[in-house]
């Protein structure tokens, strides 16, 4: 491990940018193998596609803190992702190996929100929920919330299908479909309460809790008043 990390440390000390091979050797090779064929600790990277690589790196799910660390939740790795420049260098280095899978998608925020909404309802809402809250999808798998996803990460995930998520290729979602869905996800992130686009939904569970809170507030007033006003009973 330490020997692999040496070039990166050296580069950092000397002030030169580490090469893709150096970063790979330091951060990835212990699990994915020196030739990217994988190991018992991590899958092969051959033909996974650059969209997949970009999704895991840019959301901070990779590099994992240690093998077998659950990397499905981005929160666990918040702020620990590689610097953007290193991600680009690493992607350039891996591009020949991972070629054959979904390439890095081009995406712009689509304008047809209604179409994006329809596509979201048909393809995404089953797991990512109304408003992009995410949720459990059985066993120990969950669909993450979309509140912090960037447009590129949304496109990466749609094309690459990381984890349990299915891959949506060009035949399922065309380029303009992809733009519209991504545009809709961004619109959800920026939605204000009361607009026609759902923001984070509260749902019936907090609503019921608030109802009980209302009863408690009412009873607190009655109790306080009753304690204050106890005298004056007559038979």
Partner 1 sequence: MIVRRAAGWLDERFGTNAIVHVTLKKIYPDHWSFYLGEFALYFFLVLVGTGIWLTFAFDASSQNAYASVLALADRSHPIGYVIRQVHHWAAVCFVAAILVHMGRIFFTGAFRRPRELNWMIGLCMLMLASFTGFTGYSLPNDGLSGTGLRIAYSVALSIPLIGRWAAGVFVGGNDFPTPQLTTHLYTLHVYFLPVLIAALLGLHLALVIYQKHTQFVRDPAHVVGRRFWPDYALRTIAALGATLAVLALLATFFEINPVGDYGPYRPWIVMNGAVPDWYAAFLEGSLRLGPATEFRIAGHPIPPVFWPGLVLPTVTFLFLLLWPFIEARLTGDRAPHDVLQRTTAVPLRVGVGAALIFDGLLLTIAAGDDQTAATLHVRLDTLVWVYRIALFAGPVIAGVLAARIAAEMRARVPAGGEPPPDAVLLVRNARGGYEEEGPQAG
Q: Which of 9, 78, 99, 218 binds partner 1 (CB under 8 A)?
A: 218
Work out whether 228 is an interface residue with partner 1 (CB under 8 A): no
Q: Does 127 bind partner 1 (CB under 8 A)?
A: yes
Among residues 56, 166, 183, the alpha carbon closest in space to that of 107 is found at: 183
Cβ neighbours of residue 18 closer than 8 Å, sequence gap 6 or more:
7, 8, 11, 12, 26, 86, 89
Site size toward partner 1, by CB under 8 A: 51
Based on the shown chain and the rule CB under 8 A, indicate whether residue 61 belongs to the binding site for partner 1.
Answer: no
Residue 96 interacting with partner 1 (CB under 8 A): no
Please tell me whether residue 126 binds partner 1 under the rule CB under 8 A.
yes
Chain-centre distance for alpha carbon 190 = 16
Task: Find all residues with CB under 8 Å of 184, minimum gap 6, and list them.
Answer: 110, 113, 116, 117, 119, 120, 197
Smallest gap, in angstroms, from Cβ of residue 166 to partner 1? 15
Residue 177 and residue 119 in contact, taking contact as beta carbons nearer than 8 Å: yes
**Pattern 8-47, binding to partner 1, x per CB under 8 A?**
----------------------------------------
Least distance in Å: CB of 222 to partner 1? 5
Query: Measured between alpha carbons, how far is residue 87 from residues 133, 137, 192, 228 in Å?
Result: 27, 30, 33, 68
What residues between 141 and 180 interact with partner 1 by CB under 8 A?
142-143
Q: How far is the CB of 206 from partner 1 (least distance, A)?
A: 9
Token reading at 117: 């909404």
Instruction: Please identify, among the stretches 3-11, 45-53, 81-89, 201-209, the one whose residues bind partner 1 according to the rule CB under 8 A.
Output: 201-209
How far apart, in whole angstroms, are the C-alpha atoms of residue 57 and residue 63? 7
Residues that bind partner 1 (CB under 8 A): 70, 73, 121-122, 125-131, 133-140, 142-143, 193-194, 196, 198, 201-205, 207-212, 214-215, 217-219, 221-223, 225-227, 232-235
């Amino acid at each position: 491990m330490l020997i692999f990390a040496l070039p990166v440390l050296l580069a950092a000390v000397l002030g030169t940018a580490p090469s893709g091979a150096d970063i790979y050797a330091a951060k990835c090779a212990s699990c994915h193998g020196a030739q990217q064929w994988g190991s018992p600790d991590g899958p092969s990277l051959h033909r996974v596609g650059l969209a997949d690589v970009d999704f895991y790196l840019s959301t901070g799910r990779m590099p994992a803190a240690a093998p077998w660390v659950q990397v499905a939740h981005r929160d666990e790795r918040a702020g620990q992702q590689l610097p953007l420049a290193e991600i680009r260098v690493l992607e350039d280095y891996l591009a020949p190996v991972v070629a054959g899978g979904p390439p890095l998608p081009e995406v712009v925020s689509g304008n047809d929100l209604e179409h994006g909404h329809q596509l979201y309802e048909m393809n995404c809402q089953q797991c990512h929920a109304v408003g992009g809250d995410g949720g459990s999808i059985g066993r120990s798998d969950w669909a993450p919330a979309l509140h912090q996803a960037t447009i590129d990460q949304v496109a990466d995930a749609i094309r690459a299908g990381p984890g349990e998520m299915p891959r949506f290729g060009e035949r399922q979602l065309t380029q303009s479909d992809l733009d519209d869905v991504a545009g809709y996800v961004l619109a959800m992130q920026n939605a204000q309460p009361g607009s026609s686009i759902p923001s984070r939904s509260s749902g019936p569970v907090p609503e019921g809790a608030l109802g009980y809170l209302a009863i408690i507030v009412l009873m607190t007033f009655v109790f306080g008043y009753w304690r204050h006003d106890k005298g004056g009973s007559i038979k």
